[in-house]
Amino acid sequence: MLIKVPKASQCSENDVTDEAIYLKRRQLLKQMGFIGAGALLAGSPGVQAINLFGDDDETAFNTRELTYSQQDSAQTLTPESKVISHNNFYEFGTDKTDPKENAQGLNVDPWQLRVDGLVEKPFTLGFEDLFSSFELQERIYRMRCVEAWSMVIPWIGIPLQSLLNRAAPLSKGKYVAFETLYDPEQMPGQRNPFIGGGIDYPYVEGLRLDEAMHPLTILAVGLYGKSLPPQNGAPIRLVVPWKYGFKSIKSIVSIRLVEKQPPTSWNLLAANEYGFYANVNPNVDHPRWSQARERRITKGGLFSSNRIDTQLFNGYDEVAPLYRGMDLKRFY
């Protein structure tokens, strides 16, 4: 049993920046006129010395502050501490806490993201390119896991559309296939099927081209103002907010335009439970559990548990035209 005795230096829940303040941070910084001063301080050795007394064993992985255009939202965000500690990333183990424990050493720089297949202009992005090639935008999205829990996460990323347009898809390309890094030395779940939950690695995912080109679909490189920690899919991951979370593939190294519907990992593992489309749908249950409701992960313990109705397409009705005329019970 784990009896948690917090260190004196450790942040407690009430130390975490309140979301209301977080959302106003730019305004606050401007009011204080500190943007320039902060930038000067960031590189100074004094700051690093102070940081020695900070919580640096918690975040062995270095994230960086990002510059991006901000989005306003009335939704209550899931606290950052939960967004980065409750993850499914089976490459690092199947428990929700495993990815945070086991992924901190992931080496993301250098990184290569290859964009190719049925495109006119294939290209490769290196680690720095991920942050500098496109303008970064904040997107506050609901994330609904197929296990019936959900979060609200302030992602930072780029529309997948922009990246695909740069590659200039050929008309033969009808689907987009994604692939996660395959590196058994760094990813224990890929070395050992007992750790990796029996998935045949590398993890692969796919979208229809019109889904990939939809303005809601993004490639995220950060959350809560900083670049992604490894457990959330550093350095770049997909976010498709109207689909179950497993579609939003992490730590991507390859994006390919293809002609036929590509294989997808969970569908390969259990086709009767996980379809290619995997759109959030309260009317189509998982064979073993209901999808009618979800538990929204917010701050607070057992008694603030927050069970809400699940919405079709996770509430993103604007994607409905993509599936007009399709039987969503068959194409789940």
Partner 1 sequence: MVSRIHFRPWQILGLKLLIHSLCIGWAGTTYYQAVTDQLGGDPVKAILHFTGISAFNLLLMSLCMSPLAKYFRQAQFIRFRRLLGLYAFLFAILHLLSYLLFELQLEWGMLISEIIKRPYITVGMIAWLLLMVLTLTSTQSIQRKLGRRWQKLHNWVYLAACLIALHYIWSVKSDIVQPALYIAMLAVLLGLRKDKLLKPLQAIRRKISTRA
Please check if 248 is assigned to a binding site: yes
Please check if 277 is assigned to a binding site: no
Residue 51 beta carbon to partner 1: minimum distance, rounded to whole angstroms: 26
Residue 331 beta carbon to partner 1: minimum distance, rounded to whole angstroms: 21
Distance CA 196, CA 210 (A): 32
For residues 35 and 270, which CB has a smaller minimum distance to partner 1 in the complex?
270
Residue 197 beta carbon to partner 1: minimum distance, rounded to whole angstroms: 5
Please check if 145 is assigned to a binding site: yes
Distance CA 112, CA 92 (A): 20
Residue 147 beta carbon to partner 1: minimum distance, rounded to whole angstroms: 7
Residue 82 beta carbon to partner 1: minimum distance, rounded to whole angstroms: 4
Please check if 141 is assigned to a binding site: no
For residues 168 and 308, which CB has a smaller minimum distance to partner 1 in the complex?
308
> Which is nearest to 244 in space by CA: 263, 266, 212?
266
For residues 288 and 324, which CB has a smaller minimum distance to partner 1 in the complex?
288
Tokens of 235: 């350095």
Give yes or no for a cis peptide into 235 (omega within 30° of 0): yes
Distance CA 245, CA 231 (A): 14
Give yes or no for a cis peptide into 202 (omega within 30° of 0): yes
Please check if 91 is assigned to a binding site: yes
**Do residues 306 and 198 make contact, with C-beta atoms less than 8 angstroms apart?**
no
Please check if 97 is assigned to a binding site: no
For residues 88 and 251, which CB has a smaller minimum distance to partner 1 in the complex?
88
**Do residues 161 and 217 make contact, with C-beta atoms less than 8 angstroms apart?**
yes
Distance CA 187, CA 1 (A): 26
Please check if 114 is assigned to a binding site: no
| Amino acid at residue number 236 | I
For residues 84 and 167, which CB has a smaller minimum distance to partner 1 in the complex?
84
Other beta carbons less than 10 A from residue 262's beta carbon = 18
> Which residues lie across from 139 on neighbouring strands?
155
The binding site for partner 1 (CB under 8 A) comprises: 1, 3-4, 13, 82, 85-86, 90, 94-97, 147, 149, 194, 197-199, 269-270, 285, 288-290, 293, 295, 297, 299-305, 307
**What are the binding residues?**
87, 90-91, 145, 180, 232, 237, 248-250
**What are the binding residues for Mo-molybdopterin?**
87, 90-91, 145, 180, 232, 237, 248-250
